[in-house]
Amino acid sequence: MAPPIATDIQSTIDTEIATFSGGLSVNGVAARRSMAPKMAGGIAAHASSDMFKGPGRGKPKAKRWDHKLNEESKSRKPSSLKGAITYLKNPGVINLGGGLPSSQYFPIEYIDVKVLSALHFTEQETKEPGVVKRIGKYDIEEEKGIYDLHVGLNYGQATGSAQMLRFITEHTEIIHNPPYQDWQCCMNVGSTSSLDLAYRMFVARGECILTEEYTFSTAAETVRPMGVQCVGVKMDEEGLLPSDLDRILSNWDPSAHKNAPKPWLLYTVPSGQNPTGATQSHKRRKEIYLTAQKHDLYILEDEPYFFLQMQPYTGPNAPDVPPPASHEAFIKALVPSLLSMDVDGRVMRLDSFSKVIAPGLRVGWITASEQIIERFVRHSEVCTQNPSGPSQLILFKLLEETWGHSGYLDWLISIRLEYTKRRDNICYACEKYLPQEVASWTPPMAGMFHWIKIDWQRHPSKESKSMPDTEDEIFHASIDRGALISKGSWFRAETDNPGNDMFFRTTFAAAPADKVQEAIKRFGEALRAVFHLEKATNGPGH
Least distance in Å: CB of 88 to a copy of itself? Answer: 6
Question: Which of 36, 81 has the CB closer to a copy of itself?
Answer: 81
Question: Which of 54, 539 has the CB closer to a copy of itself?
Answer: 539
Q: Closest by alpha carbon to 431, among 351, 531, 539? A: 539
Least distance in Å: CB of 279 to a copy of itself? Answer: 16
Least distance in Å: CB of 420 to a copy of itself? Answer: 13
Question: Which of 3, 97 has the CB closer to a copy of itself?
Answer: 97
| CA gap 201, 74 in Å, rounded | 8
| CA gap 233, 239 in Å, rounded | 9
- Cα 18 to chain centroid distance, Å, stands at 25
Question: Which of 300, 356 has the CB closer to a copy of itself?
Answer: 356
Question: Which of 289, 508 has the CB closer to a copy of itself?
Answer: 508
Least distance in Å: CB of 476 to a copy of itself? Answer: 9
Question: Which of 184, 274 has the CB closer to a copy of itself?
Answer: 274
| CA gap 196, 218 in Å, rounded | 10
Question: Which of 327, 505 has the CB closer to a copy of itself?
Answer: 505
Question: Which of 30, 108 has the CB closer to a copy of itself?
Answer: 108
Least distance in Å: CB of 290 to a copy of itself? Answer: 31
| CA gap 6, 262 in Å, rounded | 19
Q: Closest by alpha carbon to 201, among 373, 386, 381? A: 373
Question: Which of 23, 407 has the CB closer to a copy of itself?
Answer: 407
Least distance in Å: CB of 541 to a copy of itself? Answer: 15
CB count in 10 Å sphere of residue 464 = 8
What does the longest C-alpha to C-alpha distance in the chain come to? 85
Question: Which of 339, 485 has the CB closer to a copy of itself?
Answer: 485
Q: Closest by alpha carbon to 161, among 354, 386, 381, 366? A: 386
Least distance in Å: CB of 155 to a copy of itself? Answer: 5
Least distance in Å: CB of 364 to a copy of itself? Answer: 11
Question: Which of 7, 75 has the CB closer to a copy of itself?
Answer: 75
H-run or E-run covering 268:
strand 265-268
Least distance in Å: CB of 181 to a copy of itself? Answer: 28
Least distance in Å: CB of 338 to a copy of itself? Answer: 22
In contact, 265 and 298? CB cutoff 8 Å: yes
Least distance in Å: CB of 522 to a copy of itself? Answer: 7
- Cα 499 to chain centroid distance, Å, stands at 26
| CA gap 517, 421 in Å, rounded | 13
Q: What ranges in 307-369 are assigned the alpha helix state H?
A: 327-333
* C-alpha triplet 466, 470, 474: angle, nearest 5°: 170
| CA gap 174, 152 in Å, rounded | 26
Dihedral sign for Cα 89, 95, 99, 105, please.
Answer: positive
- The DSSP code sequence of 194-226 is HHHHHHHHH--TT-EEEEESB--HHHHHHHGGG
What is the phi-psi region of residue 378: left when phi exceeds 0, alpha when psi lies from -120 to 50, beta otherwise? alpha
| CA gap 12, 8 in Å, rounded | 8
CB count in 10 Å sphere of residue 72 = 14
Question: Which of 339, 357 has the CB closer to a copy of itself?
Answer: 357
H-run or E-run covering 190:
none
Q: Which residues does 208 contact at the CB level (< 8 Å), separation at least 6?
A: 228, 229, 230, 231, 257, 260, 263
Least distance in Å: CB of 524 to a copy of itself? Answer: 13
